[in-house]
Structure 1
Amino acid sequence: MLTLDPRGYEAEFATNFLGHFQLTRDLYPALRAAHGARVVNVSSGAHRFAGIQWDDVNLRDNYHAGLAYAQSKAAVVLLAVEVDRRWADDGIHGYAVHPGVVVGTSLNSAVGNDALRAMGLIDDAGNPIIDPAVGKKTPQQGTSTIAFAAATSPLLDDIGGVYLKDNDISPVNDEQAPVTADSIPSEVASHAIDPGSARRLWELAKTMLAKNGNQQ
């Protein structure tokens, strides 16, 4: 069911992207003063399934839950691209991270055991199936790439505007491979790192916030 926030914006987009965008811009003076800062947001391999719905970003005419989630996670990747383009000269780099399909958390319980079994994420007894080789990870494994992006790796000191998975920069893969229990495609899709789309989304987000009294 389509859910709108009090401003009239689709809730998934508002929560997963628009709030991140607003906070990031508000933090810009502090990030610049740090003389070396990283903006890290968590995306998802689901970004592969949809780009930005420019003519209906709030999905009033074409809502379904999967599209809403995919659009919001594609937006997170585009945010990393544009943060880096705008602010790299200030020592600020942007990253989007795919943590993997993290198994055995309270978020999984909302899906239901039948669906989790169908996706190959739990066995018949309800135990998590962990297989990092195909992206099924423990919470600890899922946080590894986030830590890699945020602080621990000097390999990223001069690199930004990228989508990371498995403690590395993801290759681009636009192949429309199906998601199965043994194959969970999660490489970055080209539509999520397109510089023109990143700039356009930034301006759209500014307009959306300006309509609600945030003029920065």
Structure 2
Amino acid sequence: MRSGPRSRRSTRWCSAPRHYRSRRTETTEGYEENFALFYLSRHVLGQALAEPLSRAQHPVVVNVAGPGAGLELVQWDDLQLARHYHGGAALGQGGKLNDLLGVSYAEQHGPAGIRYVLIHPGVTATGFSGEYDADTLPHIRSMQRDAKPVEAALPPIVDAIDKPTSEPLSAFVEGRRIPVGTRDFDPTAARRLRDLTDRLLARS
């Protein structure tokens, strides 16, 4: 997470945590770990920061999550994959949940001037954090060999932080802007997810 100066002039927040697990694991609070780390933590922190962000001159949230996948990835009746878990499916769904998080956050807080940017910088040579099974590990090793260096992935992220778009929500894949007015960024689905998330957190 990167955060800029907390001032009336400029407040920025950038989020990008995730961790692959081949086996389904729960947090101490009882949440599936991919769901908790990749989606729920960003929802909770973003909501907590909305008020201080709204006081800044150019507030922006940058979510490094890989936007643009289809809504069919969302298992609405089993968001935490209790019945049919797969690590890749958990991360794929997490990326889509972050798309919907961006839609609902922009709807809620865009009127206060907060800009929300979804970014996929491309496969990048970071830590590839995870616990991989024997079938998954060769694919990960291949991705590591072909991944771009971190310094090559940073410019579009820095640009989004320093020069946010004028629209409440925008999305970029490897520097290319993609539309957010498609069904894959459906506001009704985003509100459904927000409602499910609020009810889930209320039971905690």
Shorter-chain TM-score range: 0.7 to 0.9
Q: Write out aligned runs for 1:14-29 (5 A).
A: 14-29=36-51
Q: Is the 8 A contact 1:163 1:170 kept in 2?
A: yes
- Taking a change above 3 Å as real, the CA distance of residues 68 and 167 of structure 1, as seen in their structure-2 partners, is same
Identity level (%):
28
Residue 73 of structure 2 aligns to a residue whose secondary structure is: coil
Q: Write out aligned runs for 1:19-98 (5 A).
A: 19-44=41-66, 47-48=69-70, 51-98=73-120
Residue range with higher mean Cα deviation, 27-36 or 40-49? 40-49
**Larger Rg belongs to:** 1
Q: TM-score, normalised by structure 1?
A: 0.72
Deviation, 1:113, is: 7.3
| CA deviation vs aligned residue, 1:105-129 (integer Å, no higher than 9, x gap) | 3327976874356x4x46xxxxx44
Residue 106 of structure 1 aligns to a residue whose secondary structure is: coil
Count of matched residue pairs = 179
- Taking a change above 3 Å as real, the CA distance of residues 38 and 46 of structure 1, as seen in their structure-2 partners, is closer
Match of 1:201 among 159, 173, 193: 193
Q: CA RMSD in A?
A: 2.7
Q: Write out aligned runs for 1:154-169 (5 A).
A: 156=165, 158-169=166-177
Q: 2-side partners of 1:209 and 1:116: how far apart?
A: 33
Q: 2-side partners of 1:29 and 1:144: how far apart?
A: 28
- Taking a change above 3 Å as real, the CA distance of residues 189 and 60 of structure 1, as seen in their structure-2 partners, is farther
Q: TM-score, normalised by structure 2?
A: 0.76
